[in-house]
């Protein structure tokens, strides 16, 4: 029955991709790549919903779950607060007062210095009016927040819309934010990188790391990282990776050795293999790895470069994607989250997955590699509840440092097939290199999806984030709640401090 389920799931994904390609044209007609991109995400959500509506017999639970490492560690919660509200100018068709899809990074030289990024003014059919940022230099007590300048037309930029914000620190404290950007009518799509030299308070004009004008190309779902290890031969190198929707959907990469001012030629990571969810991180030895979903077989996979991103090793399968999804909420929680422990070099990849559930709901599962991504063990289940609990786990962010793995995720109640309209945030951690997870705690007030953005379903984002130092962790999420004045939407960005 396991083989049959895998075959059905893989066949469904392939079928949806073929339908998407056939219905969107794909012959270079105006907007065709963007249409295929939009249809692709709708199909991924449909496939995840299908898996949830057709649960299979659960696999045996992992034997390693449920043994607490150090009781009561990492359970002190402070500084839970809203850190930003939509500062963009509403436009026709946009959803005013919506922030979505947050990510966060911590300064490797100063754990009190964190920067979060997010969309603002979401459009139901993709992108946002003007993504923003929130910066704290005092451990999350106070925040400076605004919209990125010079990216979209809302703040003097070229692009109509931007999306998928991601952020990373350099070894010198510079902050880099990457976005995909595109036009509403013209076929231009690209990737912009903004740098801040004052730690995320102000930002330099964005640099276009990629700009395509062909209707047959669309640049999608990027991420960014910087090699910060002083012993690495590529210290300071900035990497961006993304999937490039064209004839297929291959994973691409570029790098910069001059703090994001100029960029290398495009490096093919996956060759002819189509993928999505590219997530890039540097290892302490200077190797760089990209995790993504292989759309050919439905596996979450990793590839590693040992020469700074110029050439790439073989695809290594981590585990089959078996995520499910609420029918009315877009989560895409099978997008892989990726963490590397800079002290141990251990690598962790996680996503939401229903393989251990007979009720079609997700657990949070994490895989580990101790040899630079060559082989993987797992999965280990993070959440303590199991099939029948009525708790569906949606989206997850991971961070890892000094043998501690941090997991931050969303939970939505399902009672007799009826989904609650409320979402809550949860945190759990491991102090034994990801062998066991314990001490799940609630984080912050609940989300009310009544006031959430809409993008193929109620939309808080395709991902969330968490950053961690030796004694503190900072999760970030977007929360929908009753607005202070009557309006359709109200979705803001929140953070908290979890203390060892």
CATH number of the domain encompassing residue 24: 2.120.10.10
Q: Residue 37: which domain range?
A: 2-499
Q: What is the per-residue burial (b if ≥16 Cβ within 10 Å, else e) of 398-430? A: bbbbeebbbbbbbbbbbeeeebbbebbbbbbbb
Q: How far, in Å, are 91, 92, 121, 156, 228 from residue 95 at the CA level?
A: 8, 9, 5, 20, 38
Average pLDDT per block of 10 residues along the chain, 500 residues long? 39 38 39 89 93 90 61 90 98 98 98 98 97 98 98 98 98 98 96 98 98 97 98 98 96 98 98 98 98 97 98 98 96 95 98 96 98 97 95 98 98 96 98 95 98 97 98 98 96 98
Q: Rounded CA gap, 234 and 230, in Å?
A: 9
pTM: 0.94
Q: Could you tell me if 225 and 282 are in contact, meaning their C-beta atoms sit under 8 angstroms apart?
A: yes
Q: How far, in Å, are 115, 168, 341, 491 from residue 470 at the CA level?
A: 17, 18, 11, 31
Q: Could you tell me if 221 and 242 are in contact, meaning their C-beta atoms sit under 8 angstroms apart?
A: yes
Task: State the pLDDT at residue 72.
Answer: 74
Domain count, the chain: 1
DSSP assignment of 166-183, as one string? EEEE-TTS-EEEEEEEE-
Looking only at the bridges linking them, the beta strands covering 472-480 and 491-499 are antiparallel
Cα 148–chain centre separation: 19
Task: State the pLDDT at residue 28.
Answer: 42
Task: State the pLDDT at residue 5.
Answer: 43
Residue from 235, 224, 257, 229 nearest 338 by CA: 224
Q: Rounded CA gap, 492 and 394, in Å?
A: 18
């Amino acid at each position: 029955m396991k083989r049959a389920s895998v075959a059905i799931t893989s066949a469904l994904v392939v079928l949806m991709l073929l339908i998407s390609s056939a219905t969107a044209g794909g012959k270079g007609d105006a907007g065709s790549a963007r249409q295929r991109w939009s249809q692709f995400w709708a199909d991924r959500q449909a496939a995840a919903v299908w898996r949830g509506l057709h649960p299979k017999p659960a696999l045996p639970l992992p034997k390693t779950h449920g043994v607490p490492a150090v009781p009561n560690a990492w359970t002190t919660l402070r500084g839970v607060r809203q850190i930003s509200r939509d500062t963009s100018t509403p436009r026709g068709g946009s959803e005013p007062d919506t922030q979505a899809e947050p990510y966060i990074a911590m300064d490797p030289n100063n754990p009190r210095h964190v920067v979060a990024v997010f969309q603002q003014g979401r459009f139901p059919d993709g992108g946002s009016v003007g993504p923003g940022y929130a910066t704290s230099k005092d451990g999350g007590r106070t925040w400076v927040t605004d919209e990125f300048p010079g990216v979209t037309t809302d703040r003097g930029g070229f692009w109509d819309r931007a999306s998928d914000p991601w952020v990373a620190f350099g070894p010198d404290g510079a902050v880099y934010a990457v976005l995909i950007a595109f036009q509403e009518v013209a076929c231009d799509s690209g990737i912009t990188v903004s740098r801040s030299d004052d730690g995320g308070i102000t930002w330099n004009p964005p640099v276009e790391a990629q700009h395509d004008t062909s209707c047959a190309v669309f640049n999608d779902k990027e991420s960014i990282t910087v090699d910060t290890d002083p012993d690495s031969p590529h210290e300071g190198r900035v990497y961006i990776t993304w999937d490039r929707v064209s004839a297929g959907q291959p994973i691409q990469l570029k790098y910069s050795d001059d703090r994001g001012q100029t960029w290398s030629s495009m490096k093919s990571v996956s060759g002819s293999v189509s993928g999505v969810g590219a997530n890039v991180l540097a290892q302490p030895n200077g190797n760089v790895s990209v995790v993504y979903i292989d759309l050919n077989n439905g596996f979450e996979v990793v590839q590693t470069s040992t020469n700074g991103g110029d050439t790439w090793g073989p695809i290594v399968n981590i585990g089959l994607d078996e995520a499910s999804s609420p029918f009315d909420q877009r989560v895409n929680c099978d997008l892989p989250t990726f963490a590397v422990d800079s002290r141990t070099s251990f690598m962790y990849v996680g996503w939401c997955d229903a393989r251990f559930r007979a009720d079609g709901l997700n657990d949070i599962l994490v895989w580990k590699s101790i040899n630079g991504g060559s082989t993987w063990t797992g999965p280990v289940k993070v959440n303590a509840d199991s099939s029948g609990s009525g708790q569906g786990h949606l989206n997850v962010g991971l961070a890892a440092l000094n043998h501690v793995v941090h997991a931050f995720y969303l939970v939505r109640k399902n009672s007799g097939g009826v989904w609650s309209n409320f979402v809550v945030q949860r945190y759990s951690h491991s102090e034994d290199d990801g062998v066991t997870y314990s001490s799940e705690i609630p984080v912050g007030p609940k989300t009310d999806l009544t006031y959430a953005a809409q993008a193929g379903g109620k939309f808080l984002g395709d991902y969330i984030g968490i950053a961690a130092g030796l004694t503190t962790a900072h999760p970030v999420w977007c929360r929908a709640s009753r607005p202070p004045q009557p309006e359709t939407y109200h979705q803001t960005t929140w953070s908290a401090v979890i203390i060892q």
